[in-house]
Amino acid sequence: MTEPGAPAQAPPPPSMVRRRTFAWGTRTFVMGIINITPDSFSGDGVLAEAVSAGGPSTGAASPIERAVAQARQMVVDGADILDVGGESTRPGHQPVPAEEESRRVLPVIAAIRAALPQVPISVDTTKASVAEAALAAGADVINDVWGVGADDALARLAATGGVPLVVMHNRDVPRYRDLMPEVVDDLRAALDRALRLGVRWDDLIVDPGFGFGKTPDHNLELLRDLGSLRALGRPILLGTSRKSTLGRVLDLGPDQRLEATLATTALGIAAGADIVRVHDVRENVRAARIADAIIRANWRSQPAEGGPS
């Protein structure tokens, strides 16, 4: 962790995503999760709603319409970017063929792009064919949960398309001798590889992979030492929302983990997170604004109207 009294590291220079400036260090940016799946661990998958409702019915909103409505509400609630995924990454999930994943996400991305032309969209996928089609449909960012893997296809695609790439840490087996130094080293190697493949430095974002290739104890240690990632010099994306580690600590199901998520959002921002990836946008935006006011001192007081301040 950063030693008390150590000089603060300068934030990375701003990045441009869909003609929108992400000025790192000025505030926390919020990424809203839109799951186009029937088996999301958090129970919020758009396709799960269709299954639970007994399938399409006269007058019922289609999955695409529900996803667009969800996207609109997230933007109203303060989301800066929307992350669309068509394959669950929960433990024990069944892999989805590229064709099925594309069938799920491409119409949704195209519909959200038409409805919200200025809002940046990220595609959450590990498959280059899906990512390439998603970019053509209107996505602006590639979010790779195997960013430290051996497959260079997504990095090549990001380089060719000139789009931001989220490089997430992951491992097949959660085995470490020294967690945070290994996470940092793995991510540094992945960044170096992406640069060699032509991805621009300003287009790289790192994600420590909370809940991916790590035990609950690892995940808590990761949050405790999240500031170690600042040494990489890139914006930090943190995705703790409703994760099972929070449920293990509190013995609560995914739909009861909001307060736990908000705690990790605030603590993550204090440690240096630049983006938080969340299901509950409104609540996390509010938590982030308070954390920013304290940590980044970017709040300006308004004249009091009387009463306690």
Could you tell me the two tokens for 129? 């064919």
Catalytic-labelled residue, pool 243, 282, 286, 300? 243
230 an active-site residue?
Answer: no
H or E element in which residue 62 lies: none
127 an active-site residue?
Answer: no
Question: For residue 151, what is the DSSP state?
Answer: -
The span from the CA of 94 to the CA of 87, in Å, is: 9
16 three-class SS = strand
Could you tell me the two tokens for 53? 């409702």
Could you tell me the two tokens for 88? 């669950």
Catalytic-labelled residue, pool 277, 289, 296, 300? 277
Residues whose CB is less than 8 angstroms from the CB of residue 275 and which lie 6 or more positions away in sequence, other chains included? 28, 29, 30, 31, 80, 81, 205, 235, 236, 237, 238
Residues whose CB is less than 8 angstroms from the CB of residue 278 and which lie 6 or more positions away in sequence, other chains included? 30, 31, 32, 33, 239, 241, 261, 265, 284
Q: What's the count of helices (H) and strands (E) in the chain, helices before strands?
A: 10, 10
Is 2 exposed, middle or buried, given 0-12, 13-18 or 19+ CB atoms closer than 10 A?
Answer: middle
Could you tell me the two tokens for 278? 């969340």
Q: What crossing angle do the helices spanning 258-271 and 216-224 adopt, rounded to 10°?
A: 40
Nearest of 201, 259, 210 to residue 232 by alpha carbon: 201
The span from the CA of 207 to the CA of 232, in Å, is: 11
For the annotated catalytic residues, the residue numbers are: 243, 277
